[in-house]
Structure 1
């Protein structure tokens, strides 16, 4: 699942976790299970911490610091 599904395109400093992430009704079929939703929440929390640590927006996490986020998540 792309990280860009977890933040708004129109609101600069807002991320979301859970079933409210950005996808079509077809795209919700796979990630709606509980384990995946838990991982999405963890990824969003770590991304929020990176935003605070580096004074950046969620979009910049996806563009410049995705490797750091993946390392924190164990990927």
Structure 2
């Protein structure tokens, strides 16, 4: 189900769009550490979803169930 992957990528892009103007304004060490961790998590989320989009990894269980149901209804 590629539309789930695309929706997750759009959500991640929206969250980055909202957070990007705030990141340079933070000056404390803890704030920089938080935003660094947040950006690292963002990169992991986007990378995982691109891997799913390019079918490098198996789809999540929820999507596998729907694929099996579609295949069973086609036969």
TM above 0.5, yes or no, is no
Question: Which has the larger helix fraction?
Answer: 2
TM-score interval, smaller chain: 0.3 to 0.5
Q: Which has the higher contact order (CA 8 A, sep 6+)?
A: 2
User: TM-score, length-normalised on structure 2?
Assistant: 0.37
User: TM-score, length-normalised on structure 1?
Assistant: 0.37
